[in-house]
A = this chain, B = another copy of it.
Amino acid sequence: MNDKAPTPSAVCESPGLLCLVARRMGIDTQHEAIAFVLHNSVVRRAEGFAAQARIEIHHGSKTIIATLFETVGDHLGEGEIGLSEAAWRRLGVQEGETVTVTHPQPLESMSSVRRKIFGEHIDGKELKAILGDIATGRYSDIQLSAFITACSARVLARDEVIGLTRAMIEVGEKLTWEHHPIADKHSVGGLPGNRTTPVIVPIVACAGLTMPKTSSRAITSPAGTADTMETLAPVNLTLAKMRSVVEQVGGCIAWGGTVKLSPADDILIRIERALDIDSEGQLVASVLSKKIAAGATHVIIDIPVGATAKVRSQKSAKLLSDSLADVARTFGVEARAVVSDGSQPVGRGMGPALEAHDVLAVLQNEAGAPQDLRERSLALAGGLIELAGKAKAGEGVPLAAEILADGRAWKKFQNICEAQGGMRTPPRARHHRPIVAARDGVITDIDNRRLSRIAKLAGAPDSKAAGLELHVRLGDHVKKGEPLFTLHAETPGEFNYALDYTANKARDVITIGAR
């Protein structure tokens, strides 16, 4: 029984531990660690692992929790364990090495989740334990969903929101900066084209604030800020590189994926999206934990309000603003919310490069630059400048407008791009075609979700130049045959996919009412 060979009853040096030979299954289940053993194998039965059980897998100093599935056929033999890509990566195992498998330690923190479900209050220590287990991958999707649902059904009290925020910060990495104040910005919910960050950062940096901004890539949208910025400059910066860029030019616009700020939040967001629920407490903790962990001292938060936006009423926006400011203050951080119009896309482009062209037009003060993107950027930059005490109340926006108008912002943006590794010219797609109005009338509705879908079918965000350019705004008068938007694609296949879908759905994407 002390044999390390891959026999069914192979047991490792530590008595009582089961040893199995690792096989890479070539199955990508994203974040989820999945393990496979042969159907009805002696190992599974003898160890009392049910199929779909959670098991603990150990390799060297690494331990992960995985869900157990079974294989039929010749994928695996007795004494072998197949691993999904995530499991393989996290264990750092090589083909044919052995791993040990055990029943997982009981997930004590789930008892706090159950207490919350049944209406009891949970304290900071319990929240720390829950978030710690979530960040280390110990919660299954079923358990994550119960936690999210419980926090929505049993509304989080103020101290629970604070405890949740603190726990999210503590289970991840934290950044500290020598400068002060450190400015940051967040936008709640994805409004297509709302690419204000690359305009705000250079403006506030010119106003004397330090803004080491990290942004995300697209998850469900045609472009994230990092995707758009990547068409203008490198964004995959190491932390050391970020520090040197910020030291040099006062700000950066980097991809946030290299630093693990509030990692539990990323896991929870995936579940919230699947359930399409988002409680105020979770949202506050989610936004603030990332910003506080990033070392921010002053945070401006854009809250677009609209029928299809994440926040649907002025009243909810007010409650959310107040809670954000209140909770931030307990962490010594100043947060201010700016409620904005979330009824239609911002700017013209949807897709990385097309959005970058909008950003450049605003920074370069082009006559035809999208005014909504310009105004939103100024409102947020001005608010941030005031919040950090670099301008008096009411003087932030004028100052921001001056910095933009006199070319300082554009100069600073170029400096940032150079410092990040060199400025790039956003590409243009090879294929484009305008989609025209089928009748005369007034634009009464623009379906943000369907527009996003079309931009993605055209290839965004993987094809940088793909997406669409919107030519109309709500309330515009159009004549039959005038272009509503232009499709951009890099390959004929994607171009046709987007055109086919558009042909079927055009009437529902942009609604034209009678004059």
Q: Which residues of A contact B (CB under 8 A)?
A: 1, 8-9, 16, 26-30, 32, 36, 39, 42, 45-48, 50-52, 69-75, 85, 110, 114, 116-119, 140-146, 148-150, 152-154, 220, 271, 274-277, 453, 456-457, 459, 462, 493-494, 496-497, 500, 504
| Residue from B48, B143, B276 in contact with A275 in the complex, judged by beta carbons closer than 8 Å | B143
How far is it, in angstroms, between the C-alpha of A16 and the C-alpha of B503 when the chains are bound? 11
How far is it, in angstroms, between the C-alpha of A145 and the C-alpha of B26 when the chains are bound? 29
Cβ-defined contact, B119 with A153, below 8 A: yes
Cβ-defined contact, A142 with B143, below 8 A: no
How far is it, in angstroms, between the C-alpha of A45 and the C-alpha of B490 when the chains are bound? 14
| Residue from B30, B45, B144, B462 in contact with A51 in the complex, judged by beta carbons closer than 8 Å | B30
Cβ-defined contact, A29 with B150, below 8 A: no
Residue of B nearest to A274 (CB): B142
Which B residues are CB-close (under 8 A) to A73? 26
Cβ-defined contact, B36 with A52, below 8 A: no
**Number of chain copies forming the complex:** 2
Cβ-defined contact, A39 with B46, below 8 A: no
How far is it, in angstroms, between the C-alpha of A32 and the C-alpha of B142 when the chains are bound? 13
Which B residues are CB-close (under 8 A) to A500? 16
What are 18 sample pairs from A and B whose C-beta atoms fall under 8 A apart? Answer: A27-B27, A27-B36, A27-B69, A30-B52, A32-B52, A45-B459, A46-B493, A46-B494, A47-B497, A48-B456, A117-B153, A118-B153, A141-B142, A141-B145, A145-B149, A146-B277, A149-B149, A149-B150
Which B residues are CB-close (under 8 A) to A110? 275-276
How far is it, in angstroms, between the C-alpha of A71 and the C-alpha of B77 when the chains are bound? 20
How far is it, in angstroms, between the C-alpha of A148 and the C-alpha of B9 when the chains are bound? 39
Tell me the minimal C-beta distance from A50 to chain B in angstroms: 7
Whether A71 contacts B497 in the complex (CB less than 8 A), given A145-B149, A153-B150, comes out as no
Residue of B nearest to A271 (CB): B142
How far is it, in angstroms, between the C-alpha of A504 and the C-alpha of B71 when the chains are bound? 31
Residue of B nearest to A148 (CB): B146
Which B residues are CB-close (under 8 A) to A50? 220
Which B residues are CB-close (under 8 A) to A32? 52
Cβ-defined contact, A114 with B277, below 8 A: yes
How far is it, in angstroms, between the C-alpha of A472 and the C-alpha of B31 when the chains are bound? 48
| Residue from B74, B85, B276 in contact with A114 in the complex, judged by beta carbons closer than 8 Å | B276
| Residue from B48, B141, B496 in contact with A141 in the complex, judged by beta carbons closer than 8 Å | B141
How far is it, in angstroms, between the C-alpha of A504 and the C-alpha of B119 when the chains are bound? 39
Which B residues are CB-close (under 8 A) to A27? 27, 36, 69-72, 75
Tell me the minimal C-beta distance from A282 to chain B in angstroms: 12
Which B residues are CB-close (under 8 A) to A148? 146
Cβ-defined contact, B145 with A42, below 8 A: no
How far is it, in angstroms, between the C-alpha of A119 and the C-alpha of B153 when the chains are bound? 7
How far is it, in angstroms, between the C-alpha of A146 and the C-alpha of B114 when the chains are bound? 13
How far is it, in angstroms, between the C-alpha of A146 and the C-alpha of B119 when the chains are bound? 16
How far is it, in angstroms, between the C-alpha of A143 and the C-alpha of B142 when the chains are bound? 8
Which B residues are CB-close (under 8 A) to A69? 27-29
Cβ-defined contact, B456 with A72, below 8 A: no
Whether A70 contacts B142 in the complex (CB less than 8 A), given A110-B276, A493-B46, comes out as no
Cβ-defined contact, B28 with A70, below 8 A: yes
Which B residues are CB-close (under 8 A) to A70? 27-28
How far is it, in angstroms, between the C-alpha of A149 and the C-alpha of B152 when the chains are bound? 10
Cβ-defined contact, A71 with B26, below 8 A: yes
| Residue from B8, B16, B274 in contact with A504 in the complex, judged by beta carbons closer than 8 Å | B16
Cβ-defined contact, A274 with B143, below 8 A: yes
Which B residues are CB-close (under 8 A) to A29? 52, 69
Whether A493 contacts B9 in the complex (CB less than 8 A), given A85-B72, A142-B142, A149-B150, comes out as yes
How far is it, in angstroms, between the C-alpha of A165 and the C-alpha of B493 when the chains are bound? 50
How far is it, in angstroms, between the C-alpha of A52 and the C-alpha of B148 when the chains are bound? 19
Whether A72 contacts B277 in the complex (CB less than 8 A), given A48-B453, A153-B118, A493-B42, comes out as no
Which B residues are CB-close (under 8 A) to A494? 46
Which B residues are CB-close (under 8 A) to A45? 459, 462
Which B residues are CB-close (under 8 A) to A8? 493
| Residue from B1, B36, B145 in contact with A146 in the complex, judged by beta carbons closer than 8 Å | B145
Residue of B nearest to A118 (CB): B152
- Interface-centre pick from A1, A48, A456, A493 (highest chain B CB count, 10 A): A48
Residue of B nearest to A220 (CB): B50
How far is it, in angstroms, between the C-alpha of A71 and the C-alpha of B34 when the chains are bound? 13
Which B residues are CB-close (under 8 A) to A42? 493
Tell me the minimal C-beta distance from A411 to chain B in angstroms: 38
Residue of B nearest to A145 (CB): B145
How far is it, in angstroms, between the C-alpha of A1 and the C-alpha of B496 when the chains are bound? 10
Residue of B nearest to A459 (CB): B45
- Interface-centre pick from A51, A144, A145, A504 (highest chain B CB count, 10 A): A145
